[in-house]
Amino acid sequence: MEYITTRNGGSLPLIGLGTWQITDREKMLEVIRDAYEAGYRLIDTAAAYSNEIAISKAIENAGIPRSEIMLSDKVWNTSRGYNEVQEACRKSLKKLKTDYLDLYLIHWPASMKLYENWAEINAETWRGMEQLLADGLVKEIGVSNFKIHHLEELNKTAKVKPAVDQMEIHPGLYPKDIIDYCSENGICVEASSPLGNGQILSDKSLNEIAGTHNKTVAQICIRWILDKGVIAIPKSTSRSRIQENIDVFDFSLSSEETETIDNLPFCGGLGIDPDEVVSFG
Ligand code: A2P
C-alpha cells in the first residue's frame, strides 16, 4: 500500500475501505478480515452509518491489533457545536471500543439553505474538533463535503487547518476546482463513492478503457482517482472485489484516457450538492 503525507506529517493510505451500508455484524467481520488480508489499513465510517459497533466487534474478532489499522469516523449533523461534537466523538469512541480515532471529520457543512449562520455553526463545530485534537482523542481532524467557500470561511477562525476533505468523486463527478484548492492549501482529498455506488460501472467509455488494460471498470475508476492525488475509499462486501479494488498499482492510464474520463458527464452516484441540502442538513 502506498501512503500520502498530511500537512501535520501524518500519513494516510491511498486506498481505504468504505463501510457505508454495511451494518450486518457477520458480514462486517468477513469484510474487515478480507480487507485486512488484502492490505487495507484504513477503515472509513461515520456515526450516521450505524455500524461503529459492528466494526469494533469485527476488528476484535479478526484479531487485528488496534495499532495496525487507522479508524476514520465522522460526526453527524445533529451533533454540530463545540460541546456537541465532543460528546458525539466520545460516544463514537465507546462504540468503536478505542481511546482514539486516527481521523475525525465533520460529515456535512451546515446547509446554507437551512441556516443563515451556517459559517458560524461550522466554526463552532470546528472549535470542538480542535479541542478533541488537543485532548488527544483524535490524531487528525478534517471535513467532508466542504466546498471552497466552506473551507475559506472555516479558515477565518480555525487555529488548526483541516487535514482532509472527503467528498464524492468518481468518473462523471470530478470537482476539479475543489481538488485544486485543497492541493494548493495542503488538504488531502478523499473520494467517497469512488465507483458512484456501483452505478457507473456499465458506462461505455469506461468499459472500453478497461478492456484496453485488461482491468475492470472499478479498477479504472480507482486508478483515475489516485492519479489526481486523491485517496479512494471503495466499499465492497465481496472478497474478490475487495482484492480487485486494491490491485491498481500495476498499470497507468494514457493522457487521452485520462482526458476522456475527466470529461465524462454525470452517469451515476449520489451527486448531492452540499449547498442544496434541505432534508438532512
Ligand atoms: P458489492 O458490495 O456487492 O461489491 P462505492 O464505493 O462507489 O460506494 O461503490 C460501492 C458499490 O459498488 C457496491 O454496490 C459494491 O457492491 C459495488 N462494487 C464495489 N467494488 C466493485 C467492483 N470491483 N466491481 C463491481 N462492483 C463493485
* Pocket-forming residues, ligand 1, beta carbon under 6 Å: 18, 193-198, 201, 216, 218, 234-238, 241, 244-245
CA–CA separation, 144 vs 263, rounded Å? 24
CA of 95 to the centre of ligand 1 (A): 26
CA–CA separation, 102 vs 116, rounded Å? 32
Which residue's CA is the nearest one to ligand 1's atom 1? 236
CA of 241 to the centre of ligand 1 (A): 7
Model pLDDT, residue 1: 86
Model pLDDT, residue 260: 98
Residue 105 near residue 75, CB atoms below 8 Å: yes
pLDDT in tens, 186-234: 999 999 999 999 999 999 999 999 999 999 999 999 999 999 999 999 9
Model pLDDT, residue 245: 98
Residue 96 near residue 133, CB atoms below 8 Å: no
pTM, two decimals, is 0.97
CA–CA separation, 29 vs 33, rounded Å? 6
Q: Give the rounded distance of the alpha carbon of 41 from its chain centre.
A: 14
Which of 44, 169, 190, 195 has most ligand 1 atoms within 8 Å of CB, for mutation? Answer: 195
CA–CA separation, 266 vs 244, rounded Å? 24
Relative to the CA of 233, which ligand 1 atom is closest? 6
Counting every residue written for the chain, the total comes to 281
Model pLDDT, residue 57: 98
What pLDDT band is residue 249 in, cutting at 50, 70 and 90? very high
DSSP codes, 137-183: SBS-EEEES--HHHHHHHHTT-SS--SEEEEE-BTTB--HHHHHHHH
CA of 235 to the centre of ligand 1 (A): 6
CA–CA separation, 13 vs 46, rounded Å? 18
pLDDT in tens, 145-180: 999 999 999 999 999 999 999 999 999 999 999 999
Q: Active-site residue numbers?
A: 49
CA–CA separation, 234 vs 8, rounded Å? 25
DSSP codes, 189-246: EEEESTTGGGTTTT-HHHHHHHHHHT--HHHHHHHHHHHTT-EE----S-HHHHHHTT
Q: Is the Cα dihedral 210, 213, 218, 223 positive or negative?
A: negative
CA–CA separation, 161 vs 52, rounded Å? 26
Which residue's CA is the nearest one to ligand 1's atom 23? 241
CA of 31 to the centre of ligand 1 (A): 12
Phi and psi at residue 96, to the nearest 5°: -80, -5
CA–CA separation, 158 vs 125, rounded Å? 10
Q: Give the rounded distance of the alpha carbon of 276 from its chain centre.
A: 20
Which residue's CA is the nearest one to ligand 1's atom 21? 241
What pLDDT band is residue 280 in, cutting at 50, 70 and 90? confident
Model pLDDT, residue 60: 97
CA angle 94, 71, 5 (to 5 degrees): 145
pLDDT in tens, 95-136: 999 999 999 999 999 999 999 999 999 999 999 999 999 999
The set of cell numbers assigned to 101 is 480515532
Model pLDDT, residue 281: 74
Model pLDDT, residue 183: 98
Phi and psi at residue 163, to the nearest 5°: -80, -30
Which of 167, 206, 241, 266 has most ligand 1 atoms within 8 Å of CB, for mutation? Answer: 241
* pLDDT for residue 184 is more than 80: yes
Average pLDDT over residues 37-64: 98
